[in-house]
Structure formats: C-alpha cells, structure tokens
Structure 1
Amino acid sequence: MRNRFLALPLVAGAAALALTGCATSSASGDASSDGTIKVVASTNVYGSIVQSIGGDAVSVTSILDDPSQDPHSFESSARTQLAVSKADLIIENGGGYDDFMTTLADASDTEADTINVVELSGLDQGGDFNEHVFYSYPTMVKLVDQVAKDLSALDAGREDTFQQNADALTKELEDLESQTAEVEQQDGGEEVAYTEPVPGYLFDAMGLENETPEAFAEAIEEDDDVPPAALKDTLALFTSGSVRLLAYNDQTSSPETEQVEQAAKDNDVPVVGVTETLPKGEDYVSWQQANIDAVKAALQK
C-alpha cells in the first residue's frame, strides 16, 4: 500500500491542537522530569504492546487511537510534534503505511531510536507487499523482543521487569499462534474474501484462501475507483456461494464496499468486522483474540 496518511504542515497556535481522523492517548508527551521513558507509537496497536512491556516505567503517546474514525487521514499538530520531539523511543509501522512518522521525526530533529516494524518483520520481499504486519503474530513476537531490549537500554535498572513482562506477552502471542494453527488444521483451504488485506496475515496463518479480486482490494486500499469488472467479480463471490466469510474493514467504507457487504448479507455469508487500531478498552492480545474467535465462529456457520 502506498502512503495513505496525509501529514500536513504544522501551524502555530491553539488551532494546531486539533486532529483530523485520529486522537492521541492520555500521555501528553511533554513531561520531562517524571522519570518515565517517553515512547511515541504511530498507532495504539504498537502503543499497547509497549505499555504491556513497560508498565509504569513508560509514558506512551499513540498518535492514531480512535476506532470510530477512518485511520487513513492524518493531520499533524503541535501536540504530536511536541511528543515526537521529546520521545526516547519511536515506533512506526513502516512500509509506506505511516510515513507521517518520518515527517514528524524530521521536523523535530529527534535523536530517539526508531523501530520500523516492517523492517523488523522481514516480510517485505518486494512486489505486492501487505504492510498490515500488526496481524502477523511472529512479527509481534519480534517486536516484543526488540521493545524489551530498547527499553532496557534506556533504563537498565528495570531490565528484569521489562524482560519478565516481555516473556509473559510472548507466551500470549504464542497462544494466539497455536489457535491459528488449530484453525488451519480444521479449516485450512477454505475460501474467504475481504474488502482490504488488513487481516491478510491472520488468514494466511489459518490457511484460508483469499479469493478477492486483486483489482478490487487494491482500488479500495488506494481510495481509487473500483473497476466495474472487479466489482462484478467480487459480488459474484457471494451470489455464487464461493466464499465462507467476508472480512470488512469497519474503519473505512465506500459505496463499493457497502455493496459487497450487502451482497454477503443477502447471501447468508458471515461478515467479520476488522480494524486497524484497537477498539476502546482492548489491548493487543484481547483484540486479536476477538478476531480469531470471530473468524472461527464465521467458519462454523
């Protein structure tokens, strides 16, 4: 996916504190003497992982954390710029997903270490790459390890605590992996569809076969017009009963995706909602557990 977030120039004054299509976490990002490690994450997906490892030792600002908004537009502000300028550690998705982080970092002249999760994943081998690596549990295991190392380098006195928290989180992630392996054993090879490749790595781990026409998913992801032939072929997946479920990105919609969702419902194909940021009150593991449970339930219908 090409960069879908719009990083606009900062403007001075109180009006700059408004955000479009996102919200920041409760961490202000401007504390300088509270003794915590200041971390800025591009989304609350990564912010949640850092919080689980760092606990009270970290102050986390998640730039995108509003599940009710379309995450594909972003307007930078004085607040986000300040948080980045004071960060000890920055976490970005990479892969063109959140290029606004590079813009913010460059503008702030920050010297904070940066974790690029796509680079860490090793999944980008060129070609048609799915940058939604936060649905890849092996990648999240790598991220947990790296975050623990980086936090320990910033606060060596708490290294044991960071590592213990990281080990506990890794076990939870490995349990998620085990559950996807069980789905693959039972339902591997089943055909499914999605409006965008957000849950692509989850489907891969479950052995599910995506049948969505590439031209449809690409057009939706790039916010382009869907070719009529691609829309027709996508709708046919449901009228013909070719797929077992539709994964629908709840944070974005268009007339075409709504048409596809309605076609699924009209033909009794279960619709599984997926998101790119954490729902309110969820952490990473509970969010992904809900995703796994929803897919399993849909496959059983």
Structure 2
Amino acid sequence: MRRLLGAAAVIAVATTLTACAGGDDGDDRPHIVVTTNILGDVVANTVGDAARVTTLMRPNADPHSFEISAREAAMMRDADLLVSNGLGLEEGLQRHLDKAAEAGVETYVAGEQIDVLDYSDGEAEGTPDPHFWADPARMRDVVDGLEAAAADIDGIDDQLVEQAAAAYQAELENLDQEMTDSFASIPEQHRSLVTNHHVFGYLADRFGFRVVGAVIPGGTTLAAPSAADLRDLSEAIEQADVPTIFAESSQPDRLIQVLADEAGVDVDVSELFTESLTEKGQGADTYLTMMRANTERITSGLSEPTD
C-alpha cells in the first residue's frame, strides 16, 4: 500500500522584493540581487547586515521556468552584485542574466565556484548538473567565493561580511556532520535513490548513494518521461529493491499516479524539498531547514524494510 510521507502540501509565499526606486528609505547599503530563493537565503546569511538582499524567485516556484517582471529585470541591471546559480538552471531567466552582464553588472555565478558533476544518464547525460546545493560541502565553497565577491563591493562593510560568513560557515559545517551521521544509519543495500527528476547527484556523490533513476529523465522539470523511460525505471526499481521513491513536494500525487498506472510500481513515496524554499513554518523556509528535513525523510524512507 502506498503511503505519502511528510507534509501533504507546501504552500508558497512571495519573497519580499526590495523596490528598485524609493522603496528603501534611508537604506544606502549595497544592493545584492539573487535569482533563486535557495541562494537568496544563503546570500542573506553570508553578508548579514552589510547589504540588502533581493530574491527574485518566489517560494515554491520552479527555478527552471520562473519569470520576472520588467521592474525586476531593471533591478538586476542596477544591482551592485547579481548572484545566480548558473549551470543552466535558470532557463527562463537567462536572457536577463546575459543582458545584465553585458551592461557591466558585477556578477557571481555560484556554479563556477564548485567541482561540477555531469548528469550520468537520461536526456541530459554529459551536461553539467546545476543542483549542487544538495551537497553542503559544495555550498561551503559557494559561500567562500561569495564572501570574497561581496567584500569587493564598493562601500560595503567587509568586517560585517567576514563575521556573518564565518558564523554561517560554522552552521554549514554542523549541517554536513548531521547529514553524514544520519545517512550512516541507512543499510548499504537500501542506499539507492529514485526521484521524480535528477536532483540528487551531488548528494549521492558526497554521501555514497546510488542514483537508480528518475521519472523525468532529464535534468529539468520541463522534460517529460516516455513509456520506455517508465518501463526502464520500473525494472530498475525492482532490481534495486527500492523501498521508497522521493518526489518534489509540489508533485507527489503526479508521481504516484504515473508509477501506479503506467509503470506498475507500488512503493512508498516521500515528499522532499528539492529546488525551492517554502513559506516560514512550512518545513523548508531556509536552506538549513530544507536540508535537515530532506535528510530525515531520506533516512527514514530508506531505513524501512521492504515488504
């Protein structure tokens, strides 16, 4: 019998957007604009009070396809620093990122600061995987580079940046250790991951999991599975004796239905927060709470014996 683990739904809220003109009375701190909400949280924690941070992507949005207004595009071009994920993640935003860079805006591309992995299978095989935040060690590399980029902004208090970044690095180090300890409890034969699309390659690489497959074969939610993809996934699930499949919090029902009706697979499905933060109090309102929630659900789901 299929079970749905975790929160039944995750409700998105709008991330507060700083007005590009007249909306920051008396606030003359440098302005950092960030594309995704996961990075937005990381940036805010890294720079602390040294800068004001605007995040463009609303909670629970899809980083592959979210769009922005003309006012927000202008904000990008006026930023003191523009921070993006890179590696092809922000597909719907790329033209605005390119225009801002052409206009001379200082940019920080997080994906350029890490040891990049390529997708190992599916339609995206051989192309860079942009989902590096699943590995807290790589996120520490991102914070290192971000601290340096922020300190170079004209007029910023680099001592405030240094203090905030050091405190956040300590939290990331604690997170890494918590994840290491938790995953160590999963039996070796159950350390296999199946998701609705490829988002955990970096987690698997860092913590010794096997990525069995994904319902959506590409690295983006804009792709779609074929009947052959589903048959192959069904066989892989059965061969690996996978007890739980993990779905993004916004799409668990769709995943269950696809597997049950088209692939003939009957397994537990656990919701994870993969590509977006949530509203406060809804389970993943910061990068740290998101990763801790996912760690608990992965550990619980893969530690359960199969029937």
Which category describes the TM-score, using the shorter chain as reference length? 0.7 to 0.9
SS at match of 1:193: strand
Structure 1 position 81 matched with structure 2 position 73 = yes
Matched residue type, 1:299 = L
Shifted more, 197-206 versus 46-55: the winner is 197-206
Query: 2:180 maps to what in 1?
Result: 181
Query: 2:231 maps to what in 1?
Result: 232
**Cα 1:203–1:265, aligned 2, differ >3 Å: closer, same or farther?**
farther
Q: Could you say what the CA RMSD is over the residues aligned between the two structures, in angstroms?
A: 3.2
Hey, which bits of structure 1, 4+ residues long, moved more than 4 A?
A: 21-24, 99-102, 236-241, 252-257, 261-266
Q: In the aligned structure 1, how far is the partner of 2:199 from the partner of 2:180?
A: 19
Query: 2:248 maps to what in 1?
Result: 249
Shifted more, 260-269 versus 119-128: the winner is 260-269
2:183·2:299 contact (CA, 8 Å) conserved in 1? no
1:152·1:159 contact (CA, 8 Å) conserved in 2? yes
Q: In the aligned structure 1, how far is the partner of 2:91 from the partner of 2:128?
A: 16
Query: 1:162 maps to what in 2?
Result: 161
Q: In the aligned structure 2, how far is the partner of 1:264 from the partner of 1:208?
A: 23
Q: In the aligned structure 1, how far is the partner of 2:224 from the partner of 2:287?
A: 33
CA shift for structure 1 position 22? 9.7
CA shift for structure 1 position 24? 5.3
Tell me the alpha carbon deviations over residues 246-294 of structure 1, each in whole angstroms, 9 at most, x when there is no partner.
1212345795664237899984524232331111122211221111122
Query: 2:99 maps to what in 1?
Result: 107
Query: 2:89 maps to what in 1?
Result: 97
Query: 1:283 maps to what in 2?
Result: 286
SS at match of 1:39: strand
Structure 1 position 203 matched with structure 2 position 195 = no
Q: Report 1:211-226 matches (<5 A).
A: 211-212=212-213, 216-219=215-218, 221=220, 223-226=222-225
Query: 1:45 maps to what in 2?
Result: 38
TM-score normalised over the length of structure 2: 0.77
SS at match of 1:90: strand
SS at match of 1:212: strand
1:248·1:272 contact (CA, 8 Å) conserved in 2? yes
**Cα 1:132–1:201, aligned 2, differ >3 Å: closer, same or farther?**
same
Q: In the aligned structure 2, how far is the partner of 1:95 from the partner of 1:154?
A: 24
Higher relative contact order (CA 8 A, sep 6+): 2
Q: In the aligned structure 2, how far is the partner of 1:40 from the partner of 1:295?
A: 32
Matched residue type, 2:171 = E
Matched residue type, 2:209 = L
**Cα 1:80–1:156, aligned 2, differ >3 Å: closer, same or farther?**
closer
**Cα 1:277–1:225, aligned 2, differ >3 Å: closer, same or farther?**
closer
SS at match of 2:216: helix
Q: Report 1:2-13 matches (<5 A).
A: none
Structure 1 position 297 matched with structure 2 position 277 = no
**Cα 1:245–1:60, aligned 2, differ >3 Å: closer, same or farther?**
same
**Cα 1:78–1:128, aligned 2, differ >3 Å: closer, same or farther?**
closer
Structure 1 position 25 matched with structure 2 position 16 = yes
1:181·1:205 contact (CA, 8 Å) conserved in 2? no
Which blocks of at least 5 consecutive residues in structure 2 are unaligned?
A: 1-11, 120-125
The count of aligned residue pairs is 278
Matched residue type, 1:300 = S
TM-score normalised over the length of structure 1: 0.79
Q: In the aligned structure 1, how far is the partner of 2:149 from the partner of 2:133?
A: 19
CA shift for structure 1 position 229? 2.3
